[in-house]
A = this chain, B = another copy of it.
Amino acid sequence: MTTEFDVRLPASPTLPAVERRARIPAGFLAGGRAAGIKASGRPDLALLATVGGPAAAAAVFTPNTFAAAPVRRSQAALAASRGWARAIVSTSGCANAATGAAGDADQVRVGELVAGALGIGEGEVLHLSTGVIGTRLPLDRVAAGIDALVPELAATGNGFEAAATALRTTDSTTKLATVTLSLPGPDGTLHDVHVSGMAKGVGMIHPRMATMLSVILTDAAASPELLAAILRPAAARTWNQLTIDGDTSTNDTVLLLASGASGASPVIAGTPSAATLALAIEAVARDLARQQAADGEGATCLLTCQVTGAADDADARAVARAVVASSLVKAAVHGKDPNWGRIAGAAGNARLADAAVLEAAGIDRTSATTRAGTPAVVDPDRLRIAIAGHLVFDGAAGGPQPFDRAATRAAMDAPEITIRLDLGLGTGYGEAFGCDLTEAYVRENSEYTT
């Protein structure tokens, strides 16, 4: 019996190993507590702050037109500071989205409260929030919470975990990831450098608009420009390949801060140290994205799609995303059904929308400078598909392959199911993360709760 095909592995270096535990990088304090924003009384206020001077910062924000007040406040602060910040405040239970000018003023007030309590400037505070859309922040409770929380902030893993817990809404787990690397100091000796991340989502919240938040801290020393140059492609390969139900929220935010407190020398773009730091940050981002996918609403398993042999990496990522985003594929995965027809159909749809967009914009597909305009990124006669290690389709060998259905179904009865596609066209590689589509997802999102 033929099983999984040999995969031409991507040329990119292997990501370092990740530990799923709370470790706070040097130069930061963290904490979290219940401030009463959530009716449940669960932790809903998180604070992260630098110990010394400002940290270099980079961010990725939701492109949603309805970007919430905290998103716009963080964008403005980072633009004004050119990428420096001293604190992050997160409120759970109220998104402060679609609240107009009053909501913007509320968010500035939150920044003032944090700045006052920490003795820093309001423009040095970055904001995260998640929760109900269209309701105002309970400023009095937030103020009391900040006053109570600041004295509790700690340079400990417990403080970091408390902050991560206060980020949660309906998440069933606290999502943590940390990588330790070694970078040289001024005298050439190696220093331990930590990259630690926390994330929430994509569990939905009352009224259940999916929100995905993440903070990554490091004690490496790096410029805002280098952090941005590292974060953008890392997010493209990880969070932008994560799909639970295709909705992009008003509050999605990823923040990356570097304190420089590790003792290692500043990391310069283009050096081996920069490459090492970038891999560590991407490893943390990827692991958090996988934790988020596995904890998707109603999900019973993590669905990973790995695509090799694409014309380029962007094509590979597009195909992987199309497979993981397909409701039909997700439902089949839930049913442990090795339904390769749905996978082939989803792959056959990848980038078709892209081509339509270019055509609508009057762009000649053949003149586009990238492959985005090429409609066919998959050739049915070259495509191979393997589900949970079992080859089920080989275009070059006539298409459908005989396979052990019972064994494949058994292999699909696992906490992580991997679908692999080899396109046979080039060396492009990409992956995407999602989860199965379950009746529980529908139930949780259709029950009347607002």
A: residues with CB less than 8 A from B are: 63-67, 97-100, 102, 132-134, 204, 207-210, 245-250, 314, 325-328, 331-332, 334-342, 344-349, 352-358, 360-363, 368-370, 372-373, 375-381, 393, 395, 398-400, 409, 436-439, 441-443, 445-450
Query: Counting chain B CB atoms within 10 Å of each CB, which of A98, A99, A248, A398 scores highest?
Result: A98
* A98, chain B: closest CB distance, angstroms: 5
Known contacts A248-B345, A360-B370, then 16 further A-B pairs from the complex at CB < 8 Å, ordered by chain A residue: A64-B345, A64-B348, A97-B341, A98-B393, A134-B341, A207-B341, A209-B342, A247-B328, A327-B445, A331-B441, A332-B445, A357-B372, A361-B368, A362-B368, A436-B446, A439-B442
Contact indicator B380/A66 (Cβ below 8 Å)? yes
Residues of B within 8 Å of A357, CB to CB, are 353-354, 357-358, 372
Give the chain B neighbours of A326 by CB distance below 8 A: 246-247
- Contact check, A442 vs B98: say whether CB atoms are below 8 A apart: no
Tell whether, in the assembled complex, residue B247 and residue A349 are in contact, meaning their CB atoms are under 8 Å apart.
yes
In the docked arrangement, what's the CA distance between A58 and B269, Å? 57
User: What are the nearest 7 A-B pairs in CB distance?
Assistant: A133-B341, A335-B446, A331-B445, A65-B348, A66-B348, A362-B369, A245-B327
A63-B352 CB under 8 A given contacts A207-B339, A439-B439, A446-B437: yes
- With A361-B369, A437-B446, A442-B438: A100-B327 Cβ-Cβ less than 8 Å: no
Residues on the B chain within 8 Å of A438, using CB: 442, 446
Kindly list chain B residues whose C-beta atoms are within 8 Å of the C-beta of A373.
Answer: 361
Which residues on the B side are within 8 Å of A133 (C-beta)? Answer: 341, 344-345
Determine how close the nearest CB of chain B comes to the CB of A196; give it in whole angstroms.
30
> Are A342 and B207 interface neighbours, CB within 8 A?
yes
Q: Which B residue's beta carbon lies closest to that of A339?
A: B207
For A446, the chain B residues whose CB sits under 8 A away are 331-332, 334-335, 337, 436-438
Residues of B within 8 A of A448 (CB): 335-337, 409
Contact A66 B344, beta carbon cutoff 8 Å: yes
CB distance from A435 to the nearest CB of B (A): 13
Query: Smallest distance from the beta carbon of A417 to chain B beta carbons, Å?
Result: 13
